[in-house]
C-alpha cells in the first residue's frame, strides 16, 4: 500500500490512528461482527479521497481482515488494506476534532486533561453516537443531571471551562483513583480513558 494521504491524513497520521485502534482485538472472535469497505482515489492513485463502509457484503466492497495486527501493521493483502482504511475512516471524526483543538492554540497538561480532550473529541467527532450506552457518559449524566454538551474544540482550552470538566469528569477521575468505583466498571472506564489519551498523543 503506497498512499500519500488517506481522507486528509498523512500516511504517518493514518498509521498512528490504526496502531491505536483496539477495535480489531475486541471484535476479532465475534463472527457476527463483519465490515466491508470500498474506497476511491484521485487520478494519481496516491490519495484516498473517499471510503464507504457496510456491515454486510456489497458489490465492490472488500471484507475487512479483523486479524490486522496494530503493533506490526502489514497491508500485503486487499483485506488488510481494507482493514487499515476502515480503521482510519472509523476514527476520522474524533481525530479531526483533536487536530482542530491543537490548531486553534489548545494545550493540555497531564493525563486528566488528555483523557478529557480525547473523550470530548470522541463525543463530538461521532456526533454523540454511542453516548447513550457509554459508561463514562452515564456517570457524567449522573453528576451533572444534564445532557452532555457537544463542545466546540476550535475554542481550544475553553472546553475545560464548563461543569462537564470541572465537576463531572474530574470527580469521576478522583473516584477511580480512590477505589470507590465498582471494579468491573473501573476496568471499563480505565480502558476507555487510556484509548482517549492515545488518541490525543497522536497529534501533540
Q: pLDDT tens digit string along 78-137? A: 999 999 999 999 999 999 999 999 999 999 999 999 999 999 999 999 999 889 999 999
β-strands 47-54, 5-6 pairing: parallel
Same domain, 197 and 102: yes
pLDDT tens figures, 61-71: 999 999 999 88
Same domain, 78 and 116: no
Domains held by the chain: number:
2
Same domain, 54 and 11: yes
Domain that includes residue 19, residue range:
5-90
- Boundary of a domain, candidates 37, 66, 90: 90
- Boundary of a domain, candidates 65, 90, 115: 90
Same domain, 83 and 114: no
State the pLDDT at residue 102.
96
Cα angle value 171/175/180 (rounded, 5°): 150
Ramachandran bin of 200, using left for φ above 0, alpha for ψ from -120 to 50, beta for the remaining angles: alpha
Which among 140, 144, 160, 143 has a CA at the least distance from the CA of 152? 160
Same domain, 105 and 194: yes
Same domain, 133 and 160: yes
- Decide: 121 and 94 in contact? Cβ < 8 Å: yes
Same domain, 31 and 123: no
Same domain, 69 and 164: no
Amino acid at each position: 500500500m503506497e498512499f500519500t494521504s488517506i481522507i486528509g491524513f498523512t500516511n504517518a497520521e493514518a498509521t498512528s490512528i490504526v496502531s491505536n485502534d483496539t477495535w480489531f482485538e475486541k471484535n476479532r472472535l465475534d463472527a457476527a461482527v463483519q465490515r466491508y469497505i470500498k474506497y476511491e482515489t484521485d487520478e494519481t492513485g496516491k490519495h484516498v479521497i473517499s471510503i464507504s463502509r457496510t456491515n454486510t457484503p456489497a458489490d465492490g466492497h472488500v471484507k475487512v481482515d479483523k486479524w490486522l495486527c496494530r503493533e506490526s501493521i502489514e497491508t500485503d493483502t486487499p483485506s488488510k488494506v481494507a482493514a487499515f482504511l476502515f480503521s482510519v475512516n472509523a476514527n476520522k471524526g474524533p481525530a479531526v476534532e483533536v487536530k482542530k483543538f491543537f490548531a486553534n492554540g489548545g494545550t493540555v497538561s497531564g493525563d486528566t486533561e488528555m483523557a478529557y480532550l480525547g473523550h470530548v473529541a470522541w463525543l463530538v467527532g461521532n456526533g454523540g453516537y454511542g453516548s447513550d450506552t457509554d459508561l463514562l457518559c452515564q456517570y457524567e449524566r449522573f453528576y451533572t443531571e444534564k445532557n452532555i454538551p457537544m463542545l466546540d474544540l476550535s475554542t481550544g482550552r475553553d472546553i475545560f471551562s464548563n461543569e462537564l470538566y470541572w465537576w463531572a469528569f474530574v470527580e469521576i477521575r478522583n473516584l477511580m483513583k480512590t477505589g470507590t468505583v465498582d471494579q468491573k466498571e473501573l476496568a471499563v472506564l480505565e480502558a476507555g480513558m487510556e484509548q482517549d489519551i492515545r488518541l490525543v498523543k497522536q497529534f501533540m
